[in-house]
Structure 1
């Protein structure tokens, strides 16, 4: 994909506001490795090569296991994720594809067994933030580096 234009140069306030949201999400209390797994998984669903590349690099820098990164798109079958991580990844998938069926009650219940009120909202903010980044990157033609 070729970059269509540099959105941050055209409208720097967009980058500024997105970075405010990013910083809020990053400091919301969600475990930093889980934070990166959520970003990778949503980016996989959305097909955002730029963000998949960025967040797999970031996850590795945090010491995330290679197999957990490689198998993220098959997390349901892979035995390497905790129940808490599974709940967050399931919520990531439903929120990312929210127009298909919303967030079913049984998914909400599974997530709420693992995350308290504030943590639940933090998860939703993290998921929404990466979905926004994905949509900006894909719409403006941002590509993963060579």
Structure 2
């Protein structure tokens, strides 16, 4: 008897860019603005990639996991930090700033469960400046939007290559 959970991934449902080019371009611009804000805030560019990767792990977005793991490696991130990202709380590989950004990203990604708890916000605010908090929020908003587009339309992972 075949196990349906082992079935091959389904074919893409929709070319979102072709169906709604204005929304797609706006989402691209939002991502660029979030990346620019992250850099301008003084946060490390690699952390932007880790935030995107962590939200994509939580959301189970294969397309974005493929893309952002490749981007993060291309930017020089260490393999051990990538492999341990899903368990960052237990791993000594992350700085206080990274931990604050990852915790805030998780709360924002799972906002329907517990909103953004005061302890998460206060911990992040104790190590991040206001513009950095806003930059992490912007990065989380952007990747969560992309995750939802990619998952809903079943974008196929594997072909993306970093530039």
With normalisation by structure 1, the TM-score equals 0.97
Corresponding residue number in structure 2 for 1:48: 61
Where in structure 1 do 4 or more consecutive aligned residues deviate above 2 Å?
none
In structure 2, list runs of 5 or more residues that go unmatched.
1-9
Aligned with residue 64 of structure 1, among 77, 91, 96 = 77
1:21-78 deviations in Å (ceiling 9; x for gaps): 0110010133210000000000000000000010000000100000101110000001
Q: How does 1:32-47 map to 2 (within 5 A)?
A: 32-47=45-60
Report whether the alignment pairs 1:90 with 2:103: yes
Report whether the alignment pairs 1:14 with 2:23: yes
Report whether the alignment pairs 1:115 with 2:128: yes
Please give the root-mean-square deviation of Cα atoms over the aligned residues, in Å. Answer: 1.0
**Greater Cα radius of gyration, structure 1 or 2:** 2
What is the aligned residue count?
Answer: 146
Aligned with residue 133 of structure 1, among 146, 153, 156 = 146
SS of equivalent to 1:121? helix
CA distance in 1, matches of 2:11, 2:108: 28
CA distance in 2, matches of 1:96, 1:18: 17
In structure 1, list runs of 5 or more residues that go unmatched.
none
Corresponding residue number in structure 1 for 2:13: 4
With normalisation by structure 2, the TM-score equals 0.87
